[in-house]
Structure 1
Amino acid sequence: MDIVDKARRSAMMAGIRGKDTRPELAVRKAAHALGYRFRLHRRDLPGTPDLVFPRLRKIILVHGCYWHRHPGCKFAYKPKSNPDFWMTKFEKNQARDQKTLFELVERGWAPLVVWECETKDSKILSARIASHLGHGGDDEL
């Protein structure tokens, strides 16, 4: 049973953003601090990736642990209300994520998935981004 009424829950869920989230902003800040420049949310690519580094042919996707079901993460808990609906939704999200990754690789892009919980430690986040993009940074436009 939910602790808030349906109208309030609907308003809360509608307020969840898909772009410019706190984890995404942390990834952008880390990539920028490393000297990399990028494009945001390219609609011509599968899944509208969060950060695109065109010259490097690399992409960073920032996934919320809850919505994309980060395996083993405490934030990917099972909802108590309407679990059948939510589990179906989560399965569709995961299937879409797999399809997106496959299509990006097929088009010659190298994607990196950064999970929401991984954005909490800026040093580890920066190391992952640097490892994916290569050391040093550049003036990627």
Structure 2
Amino acid sequence: MDKLSPQRRSENMRRIRSKDMKPEMVVRRLVHRLGYRYRLHRKDLPGKPDLVFGPRRAAIFVHGCFWHQHDKAACLDGRVPKSNTAYWGPKLKRNVERDAAAQKALAEAGWRVLVVWECETRDQCLLESCLQSFLAPE
């Protein structure tokens, strides 16, 4: 793999969005097709969950494997970069800590939380059954 110039790397990083990314859109389409309605990125909830189902007190986070450090054994996209580790290590660690704090705060407030990882959106049949069981009436 060729090493990227700092300018090219900066350009790549600038294009990464926090909302409406492809994995999130996959989950949104599936949930909508299943007949559930939701609100997006509610700012009044810890962590601003990607999808919020108010009456069900359920929230879904769609995490990118790299940015939220998916388990390294399960997902190769969750690797920490080998270059500039002094920057990436603490940054990614803060993301993981912030995610855990938001999920804990939601759970303590009586919300059910589901985290969908970017790599899990590739198998839509499995994802659909997971979403159905999470959102099904209790």
- TM-score above 0.5: yes
Q: Secondary structure at the match of 1:61?
A: strand
Runs of 4+ in structure 1 displaced over 3 angstroms?
none
Matched, 1:65 2:68: no
How far, CA to CA, are the matches of 1:99 and 1:55 in structure 2? Answer: 23
Q: Which amino acid aligns with 1:121?
A: D
Which residue pairs with 2:52 in the alignment?
52
Q: Which of 94, 107, 110 matches 2:109?
A: 107
Per-residue deviation, 1:84: 2.2
The 1-side partners of 2:80 and 2:54 are apart by 37
1:124 corresponds, among 113, 123, 126, to: 126
Q: Which has the higher contact order (CA 8 A, sep 6+)?
A: 1
Q: Among 110, 116, 136, which residue is 1:134 paired with?
A: 136
2:30 counterpart letter in structure 1: A
Determine the C-alpha separation between the residues in 2 that align with 1:67 and 1:49: 15
Amino acid of the structure 1 residue aligned with 2:56: L
> What is the alpha-carbon distance in structure 1 between the residues aligned to residue 94 and residue 28 of structure 2?
27
Q: Displacement of 1:49 after TM fit?
A: 0.6
- What is the TM-score when the length of structure 1 is the normalising length? 0.91
Hey, what does 2:37 align to over in structure 1? Answer: 37
Paired with 2:136 and 2:6, the residues of 1 have a C-alpha distance of 48
How many angstroms apart in 2 are the aligned matches of 1:99 and 1:80? 27
> Quick one: percent identity of the two aligned structures?
49
Query: What is the rounded CA distance, in whole Å, between the counterparts of 1:121 and 1:35 in structure 2?
Result: 20
Q: Name the residue aligned to 1:19.
A: 19
Amino acid of the residue matched to residue 48 of structure 1? K
2 CA distance for matches of 1:27 and 1:116?
A: 10
Q: Secondary structure at the match of 1:3?
A: coil
Letter of the structure 2 residue corresponding to residue 70 of structure 1? H
Query: Alpha-carbon deviation of 1:108?
Result: 1.3
Extract unaligned runs of 5+ from structure 2: none
Q: Note the C-alpha offset of 1:7.
A: 2.1
